[in-house]
Structure 1
Amino acid sequence: MTAVTAAPPRTPQPRPAVRTTATERGEGWRRRGPLLPALLFTIAVTQIPFLVTIWYSLRSYNLLRPDADRFVGLSNYADIVLDSTFRQTAWNSVVITLGCVLVAMALGIVLALLLDRPFRGRGVARTLLITPFLVMPAASSVLWSMAMLNPTYGLLNWTIGLLGVEPVDWTSQYPVVAILMALVWQWTPFMMLLVLAGLQAQPKDVLEAAAMDGAGAWRTFASITLPQLRRYIELGVLLGIIYVVNTFDQIYLMTAGGPGTESANLPFYIYQRAFLGFDVGQAAAMGVVVVIATIVVASLALRLIFRSFDVKE
């Protein structure tokens, strides 16, 4: 009987490295080519003006004294740190932004929960509740300052007058509160739409299983609905902060930043320094600080949101 000799194992040969050919590189550029005009346009309208703003922020440039234009380095940034008005307007920006976003989100969640239930006339109710977000900020500012908060014939003072409360000059006595009321009225529909989209995207079988297990309405909302709405709430808060921090119309038309600078925010104060005080150098330095701070906050918030999206449920 002939013995069978086992063949020695074959050593796997390394695969040759794949080399990028000129054809493949050309194909890659052909795919990117249509995006280049959009990229160049974005750079032209965002980065170039920002670089010019940085250049102005390093100079002592006042339109009333054009002959005194000179390079001062970081002197404008040092003046910002010592400017008490800048610190006050920065604090006002934080209060107005967070107050508007948090209150609007809370009201948006309540309205979304109500609109998620079937009832007669739900389509009409949704349309009416979305309407404030479609009104232009300038028009809503005039509406609130003249029709709602006027100390003589405003609807709010008429309402509290029925309860025996004396009329209040909201824009003079409580300017920040007046601005917050107008902003919350405008941004609540936006938050409501985001939360309503999240409510309608959640699986119904999970809710039915919770009901069969005997979970009440509050328990179901806290344990099932609210965690599923987390991404929508985070996105609404982030977008709200980015947009509300740039509020200008309501402050300019309702309080003009007053009394004094009590209700002024950073965009309004920068406008005052640039177009009323004609101090372009210091206004540019303030603008650079605000842009950098906004980018940092937005980047951190986006990282948290993207991390929550990457988590597998």
Structure 2
Amino acid sequence: MSTAVLTEPSTVSEAPARRTERKDGWSRRGPLLPALVFAILVTQLPFLVTLWYSLQSWNLVRPGSRQFVGLSNYGAVFTDRVFRQAAFNTILITGSCVLVALVLGTGLAILLDRKFPGRGIVRTLLITPFLVMPVAGALLWGTSMFDPSFGIVNYVLSWVGIAPVDWVSSYPIFSIVTALVWQWTPFMMLLILAGLQSQNTSVLEAAAVDGASPVKTFVFVTLPHLRRYLELSVLLGAIYVVNTFDHIYMMTQGGPGTASANLPFYIYQRAFLGFDVGQAAAMGVVVVIGTIIVSTVALRLIFTSFTKEGTE
């Protein structure tokens, strides 16, 4: 009895505190509910409809062909040779663009981290490609730069006696990657430059006093500091570049044949050129699930490195 008498007042006193805490929590979350509902309506409902379409055989050029087929569309997706080629092209384009843009962006960030006359103008000019619309950038590279007859690239190569090359037709993936690198290098540069400018200058001065060369200072001091910025650059760059559609549509149309088609463009071909809604929806679901898995693993690795650095 005495134990019950002692615990009842504490229980009664905790109840209003919990209600107050719950009320405060809802007051903070309440303004975000409209945005949450809007996000669910815009993203999750279309995905559920796509899931439903992926379970059906439905070709728009054959009226009355719509029927439920279960998971057979997914089986067709994984046995589709062109889908596997498009997946390989997606990995090749994304990986090449991100790595090259990261290296170039790091070099430009190191350059802009130093003071020199006209640095502001140079920084503005280097950022400009990232501000160009993707369609305009693709047209620029497909016509002004890589045109076999009037392109600037062939004109420059003619100075050293190299014959004109039809870059887009002969080297479609190289042409696409080049245009993407030109557009995404400024993005990498800005992230790495933010990391360089956040570095404590006293550490660099201490390394110089200890006799470390500039190369050793960069490798053993600056590069570990930039690790989280490099990881974030790779993750964000890959998320954006893997969805590339404009450059492929404007420059190569996925050709020759399907040699330069990536997953987004191949899904577009199946849905809007082949009118196969069921298989296109199944491909979209597979790509979304794969992207979520890769992004989740990458985010966990980044958050783990942040946590370790925070505890050290």
Task: Check whether TM > 0.5.
Answer: yes
* In the alignment, structure 1 residue 211 sits paired with structure 2 residue 208: yes
Larger Rg: 1
* In the alignment, structure 1 residue 256 sits paired with structure 2 residue 253: yes
Q: Distance in 2 between matches of 1:257 and 1:88?
A: 11
Q: Does the residue aligned with 2:117 lie in a helix, a strand or coil?
A: coil
Q: Distance in 2 between matches of 1:141 and 1:29?
A: 47
Q: Distance in 2 between matches of 1:219 and 1:167?
A: 43
Residues 99-135 of structure 1, C-alpha deviations (whole Å, 9 max, x = no match): 0000000000000001111000000000000000000
Residues 224-283 of structure 1, C-alpha deviations (whole Å, 9 max, x = no match): 000000000100100000010000000000000000000000000000000000000000
Q: Distance in 2 between matches of 1:21 and 1:296?
A: 37
> Equivalent residue for 1:196?
193
C-alpha RMSD of the superposition: 1.3
> Equivalent residue for 1:270?
267
* In the alignment, structure 1 residue 114 sits paired with structure 2 residue 114: no
Q: Distance in 2 between matches of 1:290 and 1:183?
A: 21
What does 1:14-93 correspond to in 2, within 5 Å?
16-17=10-11, 18-19=14-15, 21-93=18-90
Q: 2:160 aligns with which of 159, 163, 166?
A: 163
Q: Distance in 2 between matches of 1:309 and 1:21?
A: 33
Q: Does the residue aligned with 1:210 lie in a helix, a strand or coil?
A: helix
Q: Does the residue aligned with 1:16 lie in a helix, a strand or coil?
A: helix
Q: Distance in 2 between matches of 1:141 and 1:211?
A: 45
TM-superposed CA distance for 1:32, in Å, is: 1.6
> Equivalent residue for 1:123?
120
TM-superposed CA distance for 1:28, in Å, is: 2.6
Q: Which moved more, 1:17-26 or 1:280-289?
A: 17-26
Q: 2:307 aligns with which of 294, 307, 310?
A: 310
Residues 42-90 of structure 1, C-alpha deviations (whole Å, 9 max, x = no match): 1000111000000000000111123111110000000011100000000
Q: Distance in 2 between matches of 1:21 and 1:115?
A: 53
* In the alignment, structure 1 residue 241 sits paired with structure 2 residue 238: yes
Residues 28-48 of structure 1, C-alpha deviations (whole Å, 9 max, x = no match): 322221111011011000111
Q: 2:229 aligns with which of 232, 247, 260?
A: 232
* In the alignment, structure 1 residue 283 sits paired with structure 2 residue 270: no
Which sections of structure 2, spanning at least 5 residues, go unmatched? 1-5
TM-superposed CA distance for 1:23, in Å, is: 4.3
Q: Which moved more, 1:299-308 or 1:60-69?
A: 60-69
> Equivalent residue for 1:147?
144
> Equivalent residue for 2:99?
102
Runs of 4+ residues over 6 Å off in structure 1: none
Q: Distance in 1 between matches of 2:23 and 2:222?
A: 50
Letter in 1 for 2:266: Y
Identity of aligned residues (%): 65
Q: Between Structure 1 and Structure 2, which shows a larger proportion of helix residues?
A: 2
Q: Does the residue aligned with 2:66 lie in a helix, a strand or coil?
A: strand
Q: Distance in 2 between matches of 1:89 and 1:280?
A: 18
TM-score (norm 2): 0.94
Which sections of structure 1, spanning at least 5 residues, go unmatched? 1-12
Letter in 1 for 2:90: S
